A and B are shown apart, each in its own frame.
Chain A
Amino acid sequence: MIKFENVTKVYNKTVRAVDDISFNVKGGEIVGFIGPNGSGKTTTMKMLTGIIRADVGKITVNGFNVRKEPIKAKESIGYIADSPDMFLRLKGTEFLDLIGDIYHVPTDKRQKRIKEFAERFELSEALSSQIMSYSHGMRQKIMVIAALMHDPPVWILDEPMVGLDPKSAFELKQMMRDHAKAGNAVFFSTHVLEVAEKLCDRVIIIKKGNILFDGTLEKLESTSKNESLEKIFLELTEK
C-alpha cells in the first residue's frame, strides 16, 4: 500500500535528509518508523503525504503515484502531523466539517464516525468550542478524529501518541490494530520504543537519512542476545 523506491531528499543542495531509501508497507501491517531526532522520519512522512517533493525516486500510495496522481494519493491517506496547533480560531465542529467536506465524507457516515470517535476520546462536549481553548491533548485528539474520519486505507501518523492521556492512547492503539486487521496499512513514527514493541508487526529504523534496519521485532531482537529493544536501538543508532 505504501511503496518507497530509491527516494532521496536533499535540502539546500548539501543536507541529505533522506538518502536513497526503499521500503514497503503492505495492507494489514502496522509499521513503526523509529530514529533519533533529525534522522529523516518527518521528511519521509512529509514526502509520503505530498508536503515535500522528493528529489529522486518514486513514492506510491494505494497504487497512486504521489507526483502523478496527487489528489487520488492524498484521498487514500489519513495523516496526523507532528503539531496539532492547527486552525485554532475554528470551532471543533467547523474544523471537522471542513475536513469532512474536503474528503467528501457523506453526512450520515460523517455523523456516525465523529460520534464514535468523539465518545472514545471523550471530546464530544468540547466540539462546539474554538480549538484555541483546547489543551494540547484535546488538540491532538481532534487531529486524530479529522485524519481518520474519512476511513482512509493508509494511515500515516507522525508521533500520534504525544499529548494523549493513557485512555486515549489506548483507544488509538486499539483503532490502529482494528484498522490493520481490516486489511489497511498503518505507518507511524514514534520515540517511545515500548509503543513500537507492543504495536508493530515490523519496524524501520532510520538514521541520518539511511535505513539501518527493516524487519520484524523478532528479527531485530535476534541480532543481539538477551538485550532490550532500547539497548539494541541505541547500539544501532550510535554506531
Chain B
Amino acid sequence: MSIYLKLVKALISTVEPSTEEKSYNKIFYRIMGFIAVFGIMLPMAFFVGVVIYALTQPLVSQGSGQNAVEMFMHLISVFSFIFGLNVIFSVFYFSGDIENLLPLPLKSYQIIGSKFTAALISESVMEFIVIIAAFAGYILASGRSWWSWILSVFGMLTLPIIPLAYCAIICMLIMLLSGFIKNKDTVNKITGFLTLGVVIGIAILVSKMGGLDTNKLVEALSDPNNPLLNVMNCIFPQVHFLVSAMVNNTFINLIFYIAVNGLAIAVFLIIAEAVYFKTAVGINYVAGKKKSKDKIISSFKMHNPCVTYLKKEFKILFRTPAYFTNCIIINLIWPVFLYIVYLLNGKTNFLDNFIYGIHNGNEESVLILILAISALSVLITAANCIASSALTREGKHFAFMKYIPLSYIAQINVKALVSIIISGAGMIIYVIAAAVYLNLGIKMSIFCCMVSLLSVTFVSYFGIFMDSVNPKLVWDDELNALRGNYNVFFNMAVAILLEAVTCAGAYLLFKFTSLGSLVIIIMLFIFLMILNTVSYLLCSYKATANIDKLSV
C-alpha cells in the first residue's frame, strides 16, 4: 500500500502546475487565479446548482425529485468518459515515466493503479466542483438531511471512478488488439477520432429526440420509468445507487454503490495484471520509408526560415497525439457540442425570431449574430490552447528558441500564426455554414469573417503573452504540457470574461441608448482592433522580455 501511495504522490507531482517564485509573477498569478475562480468556476458552479434546484423543485411534489440530479450525474459521467479516453491513453502508454517504472520490481496493478489514481485526481478537479454544486442544488430543493451532504462529498470524490475505469479497460483492450499496428502513435490518434465519433453519435441521438424544452424535460424526468434514465443506470449504475442512498437515507444503497465501484476497480486491475505489461513493453515508433541517399540529399532545399518554422509547428501539432486531440480535434468537437445545445433547445420562439430577424435585416438579430460569432471565436481559440501552450510545449528544448538567430518576436509571430490559421480556418468554415443557413449577403459574410479573425488573433497573441509569464517547461508527457498548465486555464478565463463583458456591454448599449446596431458593430470592430494592438504590444515588449529573462 505504501508503494502505491508513494507512486501516486510521485506521479501527481509531475503534473502539478509550475509555481513562480518572483514576487511580481506571484501577484499576477493571484490576480489571474482570482479571475478564474470568481469569474468562471464559481459562476459555473452556481449556474449548475441553480439549474438542478429549478428542475428538482417541481419534481419533488411528484415523487421523482432525484431524477434531475441523477440525469445530470449521468451527463457528467459521459463527459468524464469522453475526455478520459485520451487522458488514460496518454498516462498509461505514452508518458515519459513508463521507461523508468517498467524496469522496477513492481506488479502491473501497482503501476497502473497509481497511474489511474493520479489521473483521476489531476483530471477531475473541475468535475468535483460541478458535482458538488449539482448535489447542493438537489439537497436544497428537496430539503435533505446532513447525511446527504456527507454522501455528496463522498460522491464528489468517487463518481468519476467508473467512467475512467471504462476508459482504462477500453484503452488496454485496444492496445492488446492493435498489435498489428506497428506505430503506436496511430493507435493514440485513433482515440482522438473515437472521441469525436462519440460526440457526433450523441449529436445524432439528440437530433432524433427532436429537441427538448424545459417543460418537456421536467415532464420526461417526472416519469419514474424514464427509458433514457433506465439505460443510463445500466451503463453507470453507481449514479443510481448514490442518489438512492441520499433519497432513502439507507446504508444498503451506499453498500451497493461501494460494491459497484469496487467491482469496476477489481475488473480493471485484473485486466491490467493480465494485459498491461504485454501492451506497454515494446511501444515503438517505426522508422520512416527507406529512401535512396541521393534522393534524401536532393530533398534539402532553402526556404524562408519563418515558413519552415511554421511547418515545424504544424508537424509537431499534428504528429503528437496529445496535441492532435486537444489542440486540433477539439476544434471539431466544440461546434458539435454547440449543435447539441442547439438541438436540445429545439424550435423555440427566440431562435425562430432570431432567424426571421436576420432574414429581414433586423438590427438586434444582426448585432446578436456578430456578438455570437466573436464570442465563439474567442471560446474556440482559447479552448484549443494552441497559443496559450505555445511556449510550454517547447518543454526541454525551450533553449532552442533562445540560441537560434531568429528574433523572439519573429518566433512569437509564427506561433501566433499557427493558432490563427487553425482556429481561424475552423471558425471561417462555421461562419460560411451560418452564412448559407441564414442567407447572409456577401458583405455581411465577409464582415462576420473579419470579426471572427480579429477575435481569434487577439486571443492568440494574448495566449502567448500569458504563457510567457511562466511557461511550464518541465513535463513528463505532452498531455501534461496542456493539462497541468495554469496559463491555458487563465487565458481561457480572462478571454471569456473579457468577451462576456464586451458582448454584454455592446448589447446593453444597443438596448438602452439610441445607438443603432451598425454604430455598435463599428465600435466592436474598433474595440477588437485595440485589443489586438494591445495584445501584440504585450507580446512585442513583455513576452519577448519574459523569454529573454527565463533561465533554462
User: Within 8 Å CB of A127, what residues of B?
Assistant: 296
Number of interface residues of B (CB under 8 A): 43
Whether B405 and A75, one on each chain, are in contact in the complex, defined by CB atoms closer than 8 angstroms, is yes
Whether A24 sits at the interface, judged by CB under 8 Å, is no
How many angstroms from the CA of A79 to the CA of B405 in the assembled complex?
12
How many angstroms from the CA of A30 to the CA of B298 in the assembled complex?
34
User: Within 8 Å CB of A85, what residues of B?
Assistant: 396-397
Q: Which residue from B298, B315, B400 sits with its C-beta under 8 Å from A94? A: B315
Which A residue sits closest to B284, measured CB to CB? A133
Whether B297 and A115, one on each chain, are in contact in the complex, defined by CB atoms closer than 8 angstroms, is yes
Place the interface of chain A in its size category.
35 or more
Contact A102:B406 (CB < 8 A) given known A93-B299, A97-B301, A97-B308: yes
Whether B302 sits at the interface, judged by CB under 8 Å, is yes
Stretch from A103-111, A178-186, A188-196 at the B interface: A103-111
Stretch from A46-54, A161-169, A218-226, A229-237 at the B interface: A46-54
Whether B290 sits at the interface, judged by CB under 8 Å, is yes
Whether B288 sits at the interface, judged by CB under 8 Å, is yes
User: Within 8 Å CB of A96, what residues of B?
Assistant: 300
Whether A132 and B303, one on each chain, are in contact in the complex, defined by CB atoms closer than 8 angstroms, is no
Whether B309 sits at the interface, judged by CB under 8 Å, is yes
Whether B305 and A102, one on each chain, are in contact in the complex, defined by CB atoms closer than 8 angstroms, is yes
Would you give the 0/1 interface string for A89-126, flagging 1 where the beta carbon is closer than 8 Å to chain B? 11101101111111111110011001100100000111
Whether A128 sits at the interface, judged by CB under 8 Å, is yes
User: Within 8 Å CB of A170, what residues of B?
Assistant: none
Whether A203 sits at the interface, judged by CB under 8 Å, is no
Whether A71 sits at the interface, judged by CB under 8 Å, is yes
Q: Which residue from A74, A99, A102, A130 sits with its C-beta under 8 Å from B285? A: A130
How many angstroms from the CA of A101 to the CA of B293 in the assembled complex?
21
User: Within 8 Å CB of B3, what residues of A?
Assistant: none
Whether B552 and A52, one on each chain, are in contact in the complex, defined by CB atoms closer than 8 angstroms, is yes
Whether B289 sits at the interface, judged by CB under 8 Å, is yes
How many angstroms from the CA of A126 to the CA of B289 in the assembled complex?
10
Within 8 A of B (CB), among A41-59: 46, 49-53
Whether B300 and A107, one on each chain, are in contact in the complex, defined by CB atoms closer than 8 angstroms, is yes
Q: Which residue from B303, B319, B402 sits with its C-beta under 8 Å from A51? A: B402
Closest 6 CB pairs of A and B: A74-B405, A129-B287, A101-B308, A129-B288, A49-B403, A89-B319
Q: Chain B interface (Cβ within 8 Å of chain A)?
A: 21, 284-291, 293, 296-305, 307-309, 311-312, 315-316, 319-320, 396-397, 399-400, 402-407, 548-549, 551-552
Beyond the given pairs A74-B404, A81-B403, A125-B290, 12 more chain A to chain B contacts, judged by CB atoms under 8 angstroms and listed by A's residue number, are: A12-B21, A46-B399, A53-B549, A81-B399, A86-B400, A93-B296, A97-B299, A100-B300, A107-B300, A107-B301, A118-B293, A118-B297
